[in-house]
Amino acid sequence: MKKALEDVMRERRSVRRLEQADGVTREQIERAVALARQAPSAYNAQTSRLVILLQKENQKFWDIVENTLRGVTAEDAFSRTQKKLEGFRGGNGTILFYEDGAEIGKLKQSFPLYADKFGQWAQHNNAILQYAVWLALTGEGLAASLQHYNPLIDAETAREWNIPTSWTLIAQMPFGKAAEQPGPKNLRPMEETVKFFG
């Protein structure tokens, strides 16, 4: 990441219309993901898994999403959906975020006192990783958004890329060059959302 963390946090936005960013290399994406893997996880469990789809594999993924949604979306509404999907398909790639249920199961066995919490903590871990990846991509000058077409696409996606059956799809992050300018970021006043004591 070449920018200061504060700058990257302010620049990170949900950009849904993407196009190919010239000069983006696999090594650049690997570097961003490697940095994001520094994100913490409860018990240092590291149960989150990533699948990174580039070029034709990215196109194939959004074809799966489109074909799946075509079967469950009303015809008059599908053109809007299709337009949105084109915005994701236009980027450089998509990162699929998973949680490994087998690893979570091992944690439950090892720490039975907290067994009912590990699923929830895994979701927290995954969210932190998603944010870290998003910041790292932003630091590389790329735009992204977070999408949730699961569980509709889970089975076909797992078949296409031979995803282990213990992995559960959590989210999808298409990334590339911004082809739209997001509107202003409206934050609630701090005094409505944060309390200080002492």
State the pLDDT confidence band at 1, using cuts at 50, 70 and 90: low
Whether the Cβ atoms of residue 32 and residue 140 lie closer than 8 Å to each other: yes
Judge whether 141 lies within some domain.
Answer: yes
**pLDDT tens-digit readout, 167-188:** 999 999 999 999 999 988 899 9
The model's pTM: 0.95
Into how many domains does the chain fold?
A: 1
Judge whether 96 lies within some domain.
Answer: yes
Asked whether the predicted pLDDT for residue 2 surpasses 80, the reply is: no
Domain ranges, residue 171: 5-180
Q: Identify the helix (H) or strand (E) that includes residue 51.
A: strand 48-54
**pLDDT tens-digit readout, 59-72:** 999 999 999 999 99
Q: Which candidate, 72, 129, 126, 84, places its Cα nearest to that of 101?
A: 126
Asked whether the predicted pLDDT for residue 128 surpasses 90, the reply is: yes
The pair of structure tokens assigned to 151 is 């569980």
When the pLDDT of each residue in the chain is averaged and rounded to a whole number, the result is: 96
Judge whether 46 lies within some domain.
Answer: yes
Judge whether 190 lies within some domain.
Answer: no
Residue 160 is part of a domain; what is its CATH number?
3.40.109.10
Residues 6+ apart with CB under 8 A from 137: 29, 32, 143, 144, 173, 175
The pair of structure tokens assigned to 73 is 């979306």
pLDDT recorded at residue 184: 87
Judge whether 193 lies within some domain.
Answer: no
Residues 6+ apart with CB under 8 A from 98: 48, 49, 50, 51, 163, 167, 168, 169, 170
Judge whether 72 lies within some domain.
Answer: yes
Q: Among all chains, which residue has been given the structure tokens 């990174």?
A: 52
Judge whether 196 lies within some domain.
Answer: no
